[in-house]
Structure 1
Amino acid sequence: MHQAAPCGSFAQPDLRISMAQPSLPLQQLLPATSPLAFGCMGLGGSWDDAPYTEDHVAHAHAAVEAALDIGVTLFDHADIYTRGKAESVFGELMRRQPSLRDRIVLQSKCGIRFADDEGPKRFDLSREYIVAAAEASLRRLGTERLDILLLHRPDPLWEPEEIALAFRQLREQGKVLHFGVSNMNAAQMAWLGRSLDQPLVVNQFEMGLGHLEPIEAGTTFNDGQAAARPGSLAWSGTLEHCQQQGIQVQAWASLARGRFSGDTAKDPADEPARRLVQELAQRHGVSTEGVLLAWLMRHPARIQPVIGSSQPARIRACGDALKLTLTRGEWYALYEAARGRALP
């Protein structure tokens, strides 16, 4: 089934366009890490058991080529993406181009389990599951190691000591170099970190103009406006904790699923922010995607946006974020437009 597709060789990542950007926390451990990351969630076809095809391989090749073109070196996976096919298709690309593996930073996530005979959809951060899931990702990707493994979601039944044992086993076996988390707040990271003998290096969570809660947690926690975004209180101190501990913040849904980059806003409440994004893009001669990502990258936490689109043209448009540094006034104007009201 998996005969060689007529895919060309991958270009070397254009790292020159990222050299002027401030260094990321993650670059202290993995110097080749790029300011932008590519999220592989859209690779591999449908979220079912149907096998992937050569068309899916070609689609993945085009997306990865576009990401390399704008200097991306960090590729973000999860064992659940398209039911494992995202990793399998990416592994197919690396088998056809073995040199690709040594030119990238490879990251995956584990801990979410779909419904099966044992129970409903659930989170599983037991030692046995973490190890088994990591090894399954390695098989699908066709590689001997992950540079980073993230715990995908907090598990109410987790035992930090068990997680520490899983991490130690994977590290000592050379299967994973570094570890991090996803969708965890400061208190959860601190609680887990007490049992680990190696620091967490990444926290990936939803953040951007379409999800302001991590920012709101620090600006409205002592004001009545906090009631308008009650979910923001759960993120209190998270960005500050990551900055203090040198943990790389990665932002998923960084493009806000197209809410602010289209010709019209689907929700009228988004229209003021959409118009401002368009105005700033025209003013600076960049794409709307570039404005959205530059807003995140202006934050002193040195946020690494994760590009969720698998459309080559849109991926390349994201490269404009590396050409733009928003002024403080522009940053706040976008913040206010997206939140829909003036700050306290």
Structure 2
Amino acid sequence: MIQEAIDQKLLINQLQFSIAHTGMIDYGMHTNMTDARSINHDGGLLEFSRRNGTTIQAWSPFQYGMFEGTFIGSDKFPELNQKLQELADKYGVSKNAIAAAWILRHPANIQVIIGTMNPEHIVDSAKGADVELTKQEWYDVYFAAGNDLP
């Protein structure tokens, strides 16, 4: 572990995380199960970060996979986009803002790295910070992305 090799406290860890890239939380939800999502692929980084006060920053918050593209507006995610639009209409924001709000609602206090040079996209997505999804809405989005609970 890098923290053991340095004197400075690690303050931030950037991890890929989005509604369509949920591996680091799937493991915790499928603990003690035998399905594919129960495999701990990240060595417990989420839990380690929470225990040690390291802030997680989510990069590629609107992407699925490593290079496939964005799930916002993608034909590969019709149910997710329908749920995002439903919540966007309810809260008066965009689907991107709801996707950001979904990450921000996680109890690990994850920060969102928007990663764009487009000022309008930054302002639009940042409105997610003003949306507090209910727990049910959070899970509804999680399920709409094709995720499940055992």
User: TM-score w.r.t. structure 2 length?
Assistant: 0.88
Bigger Rg over Cα: 1
Count of aligned residue pairs for this structure pair: 145
Unaligned runs of 5+ in 2: 64-68
CA shift at 1:237, angstroms? 2.3
Q: How does 1:66-81 map to 2 (within 5 A)?
A: none
Give secondary structure in 1 for the equivalent of 2:40: helix
Residue 266 in 1 paired to residue 75 in 2? Answer: yes
Identity of aligned residues (%): 34
Give secondary structure in 2 for the equivalent of 1:224: coil
Q: Which residue of 2 aligns with 1:200?
A: 10
Aligned-residue Cα RMSD (Å) equals 1.7
Q: Which structure exhibits the higher relative contact order, with contacts defined as CA atoms closer than 8 Å and separated by 6 or more residues?
A: 2
CA shift at 1:310, angstroms? 2.4
How far apart are the structure 1 equivalents of 2:44 and 2:122? 31
How far apart are the structure 2 equivalents of 1:249 and 1:285? 27
Determine which of 309, 312, 318 is the counterpart of 2:116: 309
How far apart are the structure 2 equivalents of 1:237 and 1:246? 14
How far apart are the structure 1 equivalents of 2:16 and 2:10? 18
Q: Which residue of 1 aligns with 2:66?
A: none
The change in CA–CA distance for 1:290 and 1:284 in structure 2 (over 3 A counts) is same
Give secondary structure in 2 for the equivalent of 1:250: strand
Residue 214 in 1 paired to residue 24 in 2? Answer: yes
Would you say the 8 A contact 1:250–1:305 is kept in 2?
A: yes
CA shift at 1:236, angstroms? 4.6
User: TM-score w.r.t. structure 1 length?
Assistant: 0.40
How far apart are the structure 2 equivalents of 1:249 and 1:200? 11
Unaligned runs of 5+ in 1: 1-190
CA shift at 1:280, angstroms? 0.3
CA shift at 1:278, angstroms? 0.6
Give secondary structure in 1 for the equivalent of 2:15: strand
How far apart are the structure 2 equivalents of 1:342 and 1:297? 20
Would you say the 8 A contact 1:214–1:239 is kept in 2?
A: yes
Q: How does 1:111-260 map to 2 (within 5 A)?
A: 191-225=1-35, 227=36, 229=37, 233-256=40-63, 257-260=69-72
CA shift at 1:320, angstroms? 1.0
